[in-house]
């Protein structure tokens, strides 16, 4: 089934959509976008005319209607004061930058921003460290053990997010959860009926465990696939020269796989930052709004508090922050292309 030990397996530079952090779409393949440069044998023939435009029109049109149009209405909405009353009366009073100035002057907003950034940083650091570690380990394992570990990773990868949220709630259940039993068995006191969702920090620990568990397989299996392309001679040479494992990693593996590390890190940043399902489905942003990250904050401001205009402004600010990360990502991809 899964990995056939030669690394052809999950060599996908594509991700199963929705895996890493609850995002619902796939990234462009990190290795992608080469086409502009390769004088590929694939695309010489066939002069243009109208046909190509006809062929791409349905795609462009549907993206314009269902993606661009909502984006623009989101932007417009963020300059309006639309709350419950206006919604019912279908009024759209313009308020200029009021929603933005209110938000930017609100300490609660900045708390959520800082929390989102810290949450993203912690998760991405863990995902990259653990994923890299497991990728390196996969590369050094024997055939059978590699198959066992890859299969386990594939299970975690394929698990639908909503299902895994439910399972994690069960694992950390106050009364009958296996986590409390494990803590008791390991000899820690105070885990008789420990409520893991009592404080925001503890709830974040569970959410982080879930996100990291679900995201590591993507990094690890792709890392392993990347390692198999580097070739063993380099490691052998480094080992012959008496380099330590650490040293080998930093002077052989890392430089060779630098594009992989950069691109994966940026993708994970984007995914974790906009992750909604894991955070919201786990605990609805609670306890006491303590696990609200930016997307959850926007959702609760909008749908529960019915401050639609403010919610739109929050989402625009979130998109702006995402755009910064994305611009790095795109620059990286383009640069990678130039180097080839």
Partner 1 sequence: MRTRKPLTVGAVAKNATALVLALIFVFPVYWMFSSSLKPQSEILSKDPVFFFTPTFENYSTATGVDLFWTYVTNSLIVTVGAVLLALLVALAASFAIARMRFKGRKGIVLIVMMAQMAPWEVMVIAMYMIARDNEMLNSIPLLTAIYFVMVLPFTIWTLRGFIAAVPVELEEAAQIDGCTRGQAFRKVIFPLLAPGLMSTSLFGFITAWNEFAMVLVLNKDKTNQTLTLWLTQFQTAFGDDWGATMAASTLFALPVLIVFLFLQRKAVGGMTAGAVKG
Per-residue b or e along 250-263, where b marks 16 or more CB atoms closer than 10 Å to that residue's CB? eebbeeebebbbbb
Q: What token pair was written down for 146? A: 């590699």
How far, in Å, CA of 222 to CA of 265, rounded?
A: 12
Contact set for partner 1, span 26-65 (CB under 8 A): 26-29, 31-36, 38, 40-48, 51-53, 55-56, 58-60, 62-63
Q: How many residues sit close enough to partner 1 to count as binding (CB under 8 A)?
A: 123
DSSP string, 230-251: H-HHHHHHHHHTT--HHHHIII
Tell me how far apart the 2 most distant CA atoms of the chain are, in Å. Answer: 77
Contact set for partner 1, span 90-119 (CB under 8 A): 90
Nearest residue (CB) to partner 1, 204 versus 321: 321
Q: Are 285 and 207 in contact (CB under 8 A)?
A: no
How far, in Å, CA of 315 to CA of 246, rounded?
A: 42
Residue 30: CB atoms within 10 Å = 22
Nearest residue (CB) to partner 1, 17 versus 255: 17
C-alpha Rg value of the chain to the nearest Å? 24
Handedness of CA 132, 134, 138, 141 (dihedral sign): positive
Smallest separation, CB 325 to partner 1 (Å): 9
Note whether 299 binds partner 1 by CB under 8 A: yes
* Part of the chain binding partner 1 (CB under 8 A), chosen from 93-101, 110-118, 230-238, 312-320: 312-320
Residue reference for tokens 């969702």: 197
Smallest separation, CB 276 to partner 1 (Å): 4
Q: What token pair was written down for 199? A: 């404080």
Nearest residue (CB) to partner 1, 204 versus 215: 215
Note whether 74 binds partner 1 by CB under 8 A: yes
Nearest residue (CB) to partner 1, 204 versus 267: 267
Note whether 285 binds partner 1 by CB under 8 A: no
Contact set for partner 1, span 314-333 (CB under 8 A): 315, 318-319, 322, 326, 329-330, 333
Encoded one letter per residue, x for contact with partner 1 by CB under 8 A and - for no contact, window 232-271 reads --------------------------------------x-
Smallest separation, CB 123 to partner 1 (Å): 16
DSSP 29: P
Among 94, 97, 155, 250, binds partner 1 (CB under 8 A): 155
Q: At what angle do helices 69-77 and 308-339 cross, to 10 degrees?
A: 130
Note whether 131 binds partner 1 by CB under 8 A: no
Smallest separation, CB 222 to partner 1 (Å): 10
Note whether 142 binds partner 1 by CB under 8 A: yes
């Amino acid at each position: 089934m899964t990995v056939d030990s030669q690394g052809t397996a999950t060599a996908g530079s594509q991700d199963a959509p929705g895996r890493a952090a609850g995002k619902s779409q796939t990234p462009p393949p990190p290795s992608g976008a080469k086409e502009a440069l390769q004088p590929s044998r694939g695309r010489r023939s066939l002069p243009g005319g109208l046909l190509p435009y006809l062929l791409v029109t349905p795609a462009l049109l549907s993206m314009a209607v269902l993606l661009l149009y909502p984006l623009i209405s989101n932007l417009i909405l963020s300059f309006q004061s639309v709350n419950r009353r206006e919604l019912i009366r279908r009024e759209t009073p313009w308020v200029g930058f009021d929603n933005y100035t209110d938000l930017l002057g609100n300490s609660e907003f900045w708390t959520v921003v800082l929390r989102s950034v810290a949450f993203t940083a912690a998760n991405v650091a863990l995902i990259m460290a653990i994923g890299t570690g497991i990728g390196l380990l996969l590369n050094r394992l024997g055939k059978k053990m590699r198959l066992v570990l890859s299969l386990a990773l594939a299970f975690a990868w394929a698990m639908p997010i909503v299902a895994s949220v439910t399972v994690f709630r069960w694992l950390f259940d106050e009364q009958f959860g296996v986590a409390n039993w494990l803590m008791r068995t390991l000899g820690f006191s105070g885990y008789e009926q420990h409520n893991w969702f009592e404080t925001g920090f503890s709830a974040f620990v569970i959410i982080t465990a879930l996100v990291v568990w679900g995201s590591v397989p993507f990094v690890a299996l792709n890392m392993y696939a990347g390692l198999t392309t580097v070739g063993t001679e380099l490691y052998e040479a480094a080992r012959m020269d008496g380099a330590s494992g650490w040293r080998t990693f930093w002077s052989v593996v890392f430089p060779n796989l630098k594009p992989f590390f950069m691109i994966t890190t940026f993708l994970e940043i984007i995914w974790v930052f906009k992750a909604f399902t894991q955070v919201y489905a786990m605990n609805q942003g609670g306890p006491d709004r303590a696990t609200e990250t930016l997307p959850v904050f926007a959702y609760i401001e909008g749908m529960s508090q019915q401050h639609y205009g403010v919610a739109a402004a929050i989402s625009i600010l979130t998109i702006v922050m995402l755009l910064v990360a994305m611009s790095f990502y795109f620059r990286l991809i383009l640069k990678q292309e130039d180097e080839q």
